[in-house]
Chain A
Amino acid sequence: MIDYNSVLSDVVKTIEPSGIRKFFDLANGMKDVISLGVGEPDFVTPWHIRNEGVYALEKGKTHYTANAGFLELRQEITNYIERKTGVRYNPNGEVLVTVGGSEAIDLAIRALVNPGDEVLIPEPSFVCYKPCTILAGGVPVPIVTKVEDKFKLTAEKLRAAITPKTKLLILPYPNNPTGAIMTKPELEEIAGVLKDTNIMVLTDEIYAELTYGREHASIVSIPHMAERTIYVNGFSKSYAMTGWRLGFAAAPAPLMKQMLKIHQFAIMCSPTTSQYAAIEALRHGDEDIAKMREEYDCRRRMIVEGFRNMGLSCFEPEGAFYVFPDIRSTKMNSNEFCETLLQKEKVAVVPGTAFGESGEGFIRCSYAYSVSSISEALSRIERFVKSL
């Protein structure tokens, strides 16, 4: 009989499973739940993009592409990044097509982090940065962001977190779960702190197309930042292509060379069908994004107002498709609030602690749902809150 515990990687074993696994299992096992807990668009990939994928299959395009991805796609990605940030990358050597933004994040961390290197991670934030850092042998260092600062990373907090071991800063904006964004002046302050250091930056901009009332600002646009930054983006959230598993990274050639090395050994290439669809998305998908963003914006206002009307303080997000209401006034902790809400009213929302300890006292609610679903969920949550 094999003792699996003795054969498994020690590093893997140190990664803790989600602290709210029990809650997830409960929610997934219940019927007729209205869930505001999903982290992907409710829209389907626009037809013209799907059609390109279908057409590629009909034409028998089922073989590997170049490791880095189709040159045609990398050229479109380069054009896109330049249009959005003003930075021109070389499609040959500085752009990589990945399996979702998730793979790009993993590659970036593995390419940069040595054992013992510290990786600064603003929290609350997406769950993958910490485990990817640990798997690379690094030390994740959370930087707690607060609702009083609109969940932004401040120069002051960044400065306080830097040590001689700091290798990498992760910038996850627009942010999951808070919906916070960083403006250009705020990024300039961050750049000012990093200026005389060797600290690299990984900017995860997967929600960059989903900002409301202002254009997204990227740190690579700040002078002298592109040379120390790995830029990650993708197709999942902006074009509703989550299941296609396609993202991309752009970085200076010496960094990209190493990322490509890992990618070609571990993955070979990103899905071919998805790459064909992505070319169509980048060429003709702007209007689709605008329509989805418009719809999200209406729902965003509706859900923020809904929480405020029921007496819960709710930070107004300016990006992504999440709200992060403050439930501390209910005197329940996040997990307790979510479990009890689920059991009493069959509404699933995500405890803020899923995104870091600093998420305690908050819940994440997605507005990637129809107006009628959001309305019904708000009614039930209000009834629950009033019953406490």
Chain B
Amino acid sequence: MIGEKERILKLIEHNVHLTAEEIAVMVGKDAKYVQDVLDECVENQTILGQKTIIDWEKTERELVSAIIELKVTPQRGSGFDRISERIYQYDEISSVYLLSGGFDLAVIVEGKTLKEVALFVAEKLAPMEEVISTATHFILKKYKAEGVILNKKTEDDREVITL
């Protein structure tokens, strides 16, 4: 069963404009309690920020994304943490994940063109000392991202009134 903090977080995850007062009504608590929970979550970095999910395909922005699978050598004393921290410093990297299975890390790289992304991998990622090998997979089409279906039909097709 989901806890109260998690209920509040689930609400604001998909409804960023809700105020503490509105959330309080919806979860049956007082506004101060909700605000305290939110403040605590910001302080301990459970809440890291707010993000708007944008379908860049519908804009003029040139954007190419790729998922790069990396095999790396874990470091003594830090495991995979140190190499991951070095990789995510790059602005081109939007996500870094440690995986189980055939590869160690999956990173998402964004650039203006295929060439730009490929060169980034070749010149910045692959030469890193701990990186053993890379496999680049260009994202051709996004169907769903961050829990949001892109190009979803949003029209409510129910009848206006049914009893």
Contact = CB atoms under 8 A, between A and B. Distances in A.
Interface residues of B, number: 17
- Interface of B, helix, strand, loop or mixed by DSSP: loop
A371 B15 CA distance: 8
A299 B26 contact: yes
Interface in A23-78: 24, 27-28, 30, 33, 35, 37-40, 42
Contacts of A355: 163
A302 B25 CA distance: 6
A39 B163 contact: yes
B151 to A, nearest CB: 16
Interface stretch (B76-84, B114-122, B153-161): B153-161
Contacts of A294: 2, 7
Contacts of A371: 15, 18, 26
A302 B22 contact: yes
Contacts, number: 53
Contact of B28 (A24, A127, A301): A301
B161 A28 contact: yes
Contact of B160 (A18, A38, A127): A38
A18 B27 CA distance: 37
Contacts of B18: 371
A153 interface: no
B100 interface: no
Contacts of A30: 160
B161 A37 contact: yes
Contact of A348 (B11, B160, B163): B160
Interface string A143-174: 00000000000000000000000000000000
B163 A35 contact: no
A176 B7 CA distance: 27
Contact of A38 (B11, B26, B27, B161): B161
Contacts of A18: 163
Nearest to B22: A302
A367 to B, nearest CB: 11
Interface in B128-163: 156, 158-163
Interface residues of A, number: 28
B162 A38 contact: yes
Contacts of A28: 159-161
A298 B15 CA distance: 12
A117 B59 CA distance: 68
A38 B159 contact: yes
Contact of B163 (A299, A350, A372): A350
Interface centre among B11, B25, B27 (most CB of A within 10 A): B25
B2 A27 contact: no
Interface centre among B28, B159, B160, B161 (most CB of A within 10 A): B161
A126 B160 contact: no
Nearest to B11: A298
B158 A38 contact: yes
A348 B161 contact: yes
B26 A42 contact: no
Nearest to A306: B25
Contact of B158 (A42, A298, A299, A305): A42
Contacts of B158: 38, 40, 42
9 contacts: A18-B163, A35-B161, A39-B163, A126-B163, A176-B163, A294-B2, A294-B7, A301-B25, A301-B27
Interface of A: 18, 24, 27-28, 30, 33, 35, 37-40, 42, 126-127, 176, 294, 297-299, 301-302, 305, 348, 350, 354-355, 371-372
Given A18-B163, A294-B7, 8 more contacts: A27-B161, A28-B161, A38-B162, A294-B2, A298-B26, A301-B28, A305-B25, A371-B15
